Amino acid sequence: MTSLSIRSLLAFVVIAFLSGCAEDGDWRTHQRLVVERRPVSLTLAVQDDTVIKPEDMSRLQSFVDIFFRRGEAPLTLAIAKGLGEEASAQASQRAKKLAELLNAMGVDADGIRTSALEAGPALAEGTARLGYDVYAVRVPQCGDWSDNSGFSPLRNDPSPSFGCAVTRNIGLMVDNPRDLIRPQGMDGRDASRGATIIGKYRAGEDTVSKGTVSSTISSVGTK
């Protein structure tokens, strides 16, 4: 064996030894979901008699529905007011009426924060601006094949795209990105219902509730 072959063999052994001792790379440093809070707002014209225009009710309902599913309290309610004490009193009354409407739609009164803003070109007098925060997620962009996915000497680092598709899909499918930070609380189970189920199970009775809707099994493929 020539000296060149011996040196090559020794170099290969050293590289293999060092690679085996290296710590595994953390794929999360490359592919991570970034969850952040973002503001959501809605601007409505407030009426003195009917609170808001009938055509704006659908917009308000959608806004409240998103608040129930993903919104973070408090829900802020700001009314643009004009100059003078009378204008301030009118703005306060409008804010009260709109807060009562939100409460009737299911929003907790303790979670509503009202305030007044000076009217201007961007927000006319008698206009309400509602807002709350939601969690949003930024997903990684996949398809980085700049490195050799099968060769990572001395580092044991994963390729830039390792785990990207899985991480991206999780971010796109999650209903509320807040769940990636903390899970939703669980409601307490019904103790009396649980006792009934256990009693039926011990007695050998059917524990499934009787449905009121009948159904039939498809006969497709049975013949």
**Tokens 């991480």, residue?**
167
Mean pLDDT of 114-123: 87
pLDDT the model gives residue 183: 79
Percent of the chain at pLDDT exceeding 70 = 69
Segment (H or E) for 114: strand 112-118
* pLDDT category of residue 119 using cuts at 50, 70 and 90: confident
More confident residue, 186 or 112: 112
Question: Looking at residue 154, what DSSP letter applies?
Answer: T
Cβ distance 180 to 33 under 8 Å?
A: yes
Q: How do residues 58-73 score in pLDDT, each as one tens digit?
A: 999 999 999 999 999 9
Phi, psi values for residue 150, rounded to 5°: -105, 10
pLDDT of residue 222: 46
CB atoms under 10 Å from CB of 128, counted, come to 26
Q: What is the mean pLDDT of residues 93-100?
A: 91
Q: Which two tokens stand for residue 2?
A: 């020539």
CA separation for the pair 174, 195 (Å, rounded): 34
What element of type H or E holds 52? strand 51-52
Do 80 and 43 touch, CB atoms closer than 8 A? Answer: no
Q: pLDDT of 73-88, one tens digit each?
A: 999 999 998 888 888 8
pLDDT at residue 211, rounded to an integer? 46
DSSP 3-state assignment of 70?
A: helix
User: The whole model's pTM is what?
Assistant: 0.64
In the chain, the domains with their CATH numbers are 37-137 (3.30.1330.60)
Q: What is the mean pLDDT of residues 97-113?
A: 93
Higher pLDDT, 105 or 47: 105
Question: 99 or 30: which carries more pLDDT confidence?
Answer: 99
Q: Residues 54, 60, 64, 66: is their CA dihedral positive or negative?
A: positive
Q: Which are the contacts of 34, defined by CB distance < 8 A and separation ≥ 6?
A: 137, 138
Residues 26-35 have pLDDT tens digits of: 555 656 889 9
Tens-place pLDDT, residues 140-164: 888 877 776 666 655 666 777 778 8
Among candidates 125, 133, 219, which has minimal Cα distance to 176?
133
Other residues' Cβ atoms within 10 Å of the Cβ of residue 97: 19
CA distances from 23 to 151, 158, 161 (A): 15, 12, 19
